[in-house]
Amino acid sequence: MPDKEPLLKELDDGYSALKESIAGLSDAEMTTAWLGDWAVKDVLAHIAGWHREMAGALGRMARGERPTPEGVDYASPDPWNARFAAERKAMSPAEAVADLDASFAAYRAAAAALPEDRFAPGRTLDRMLHASGIDHYAEHVKEIREWRATLTGRPDGGR
């Protein structure tokens, strides 16, 4: 059974859930720190950073290269997360959302360009799309929804 379309659909669905989790937030809400010193805008910036980083990795895979460049190590994500958020700190919430959308489009296109056999469960691409996309979105969707519920007192965050 082909694995490419179902995995890309899972990626799209996860991204849609992320976008839905931030729908209707005001600029003030998007810039209020609640996850340590991060606001929703910072969460989006770090996700966009991983999109950009992994789009490059997927491009290298398409060329038959190792996904990770020589000398680069993703084993400790915290410094990467901090860098990605800091790089986009000056963006407005609208700019952060636009950047997220653009980075997702590039990330998804890079994944879709890979051949079907790369999408098999457990292969490198499958693990990458889960770690930097599908599971990553789910983690932050849960956090954002829980935070929104504290604002409204409703489990659905007022949605």
Residue-wise pLDDT for 81-103, tens only, equals 889 988 998 999 999 999 999 99
Exposed / middle / buried, residue 138 (Cβ in 10 Å: 0-12, 13-18, 19+): middle
Q: Which residues are within 8 A (CB) of 36 and not within 5 positions of it... i.e. 6 or more apart?
A: none
| Protein fold of 4-152 | Four Helix Bundle (Hemerythrin (Met), subunit A) (1.20.120)
Residue-wise pLDDT for 109-125, tens only, equals 999 999 999 999 989 99
This prediction has a pTM of 0.92
